[in-house]
Amino acid sequence: MLTRVATVTGAISPKSVTATGTGLVFAQNMMYRHTMTVYDAGGALVKTIPDGVDLAKFGVTGHPGVTRGAPVEAAADQAHRYVFATNYSMYGANFGPEGSDNCTGPGGLTPSYVYRVSLATLAIDAVGQVGMVPKYVAVTPDDRYVLVSNWCSYDLSVLDYATLHEVRRIHLGAYPRGIAIDARSHVAYVAVMGTFDVARIDLGTFDRTWFRGVGNSPRHLVLSADGRRLFVTLNGDNRVVAVDTATGRVVARTATGTQPRSMAISSDGLALYVVNYGSNTVSVLKTADLGVVNTFPVPDHPIGIAYEPTHHRIWVACYSGAILVYDA
């Protein structure tokens, strides 16, 4: 059983939460608050980081004055130096209309930017241009690349970790979102939510293959520690499935709740935690067979979840304006 140890409220509307591995947790509050809020492992607010930047200070021309973002997802690097955050849309001079989930592929919107936040200063210290309406972000385990799924560009941006310059753009199809990276095989998996498929990308050659027919509207991905199982939330099927990465076949499935969104895996690899957006619940699954151990209620629209490893706690972000912290 999980025991709630803290409830975080305030000027937040969290889309996601991200544990850095250093005892800090970031919440991304999108355009509703134009901030990232940073907490210690106990849930106390450490800093509020506004999303407004002067892009000219980072060498970006054509957008004078302060530009605001809309932090949607974030990822920490392995060296514990930085957190990288995607911005759903940009707001400022010479930017186009606000981003939207209802898009029909490339065109009509302006590119967005990834922010790099220093964990030493908790300030934005670099930016990198990506595609339109970026969603998920992941850092490769060797801290070589930052990967960003671009919802409305139908593709994946591959950024150089050191410079944030885009080195590759890989077409994926309608609505790419979740990303998981296998350090052993140097492969990235990307959920393509407008399909039934998961893309498999070789990070050495950037060749793309597919796990076809995984399920309706795959959204979020988590890998087992050994890389043999890929766990996938199926937003359209109201299920979570496990895929054998050697064969691409679904080997286990379970119903959790309505619209399962994000997942987190425990540091021992035995438990999977799933937020069910439409059911207002969290499900606890056994990774061995996806058996449901527990399901419990949370406030409206749980959408983000993170496992904080220094205190072994689960953080649940609810769009309605709360973050719940549980002892695991």
Res 151 pLDDT > 90: yes
* Domain containing residue 167: CATH number: 2.130.10.10
In this structure, what DSSP letter does residue 84 have?
Answer: E
pLDDT digits (tens, 9 = 90+) for 219-230: 999 999 999 999
Query: Of 171, 186, 216, which closes a domain?
Result: 171
What gap in Å lies between CA 73 and CA 150, rounded to an integer?
A: 12
Query: Of 139, 171, 203, which closes a domain?
Result: 171
Handedness of CA 285, 14, 136, 276 (dihedral sign): positive
**Would you say how long the chain is, in residues?**
328
Q: What is the pLDDT of residue 211?
A: 98
Nearest to 156, CA basis, from 186, 114, 185 = 114
The contacts found for 270-279 with CB under 8 angstroms, 24 or more apart, are 271/328, 272/222, 272/231, 272/240, 273/305, 273/307, 273/314, 274/233, 274/240, 274/305, 275/302, 275/303, 275/304, 275/305, 275/316, 276/302, 277/301, 277/302, 277/303, 278/238
Judgement on whether residues 94 and 156 belong to the same structural domain of the protein: yes
Phi-psi region of 248 (alpha: psi -120 to 50; beta: other; left: phi over 0): left
Res 138 pLDDT > 90: yes
Asked if the structure places residue 325 within a domain, the reply is no
- In order of 108, 120, 131, 213, 288, the CA distances from 224 in angstroms are 38, 30, 29, 20, 10
Res 180 pLDDT > 90: yes
* Residue numbers of the domain that contains 273: 175-297
- In this prediction the pTM is 0.97
Judgement on whether residues 60 and 158 belong to the same structural domain of the protein: yes
Judgement on whether residues 191 and 283 belong to the same structural domain of the protein: yes
What are the structure tokens assigned to 307, written together?
A: 């496992």
Asked if the structure places residue 237 within a domain, the reply is yes
Phi, psi at residue 58, to the nearest 5°? Answer: -105, 15
State the average pLDDT over residues 32-50.
97
Judgement on whether residues 86 and 149 belong to the same structural domain of the protein: yes
For tokens 């994926």, name the residue. 172
Nearest to 236, CA basis, from 253, 219, 256 = 219
Judgement on whether residues 257 and 180 belong to the same structural domain of the protein: yes
pLDDT digits (tens, 9 = 90+) for 80-119: 999 999 999 999 999 999 999 999 877 778 999 999 999 9
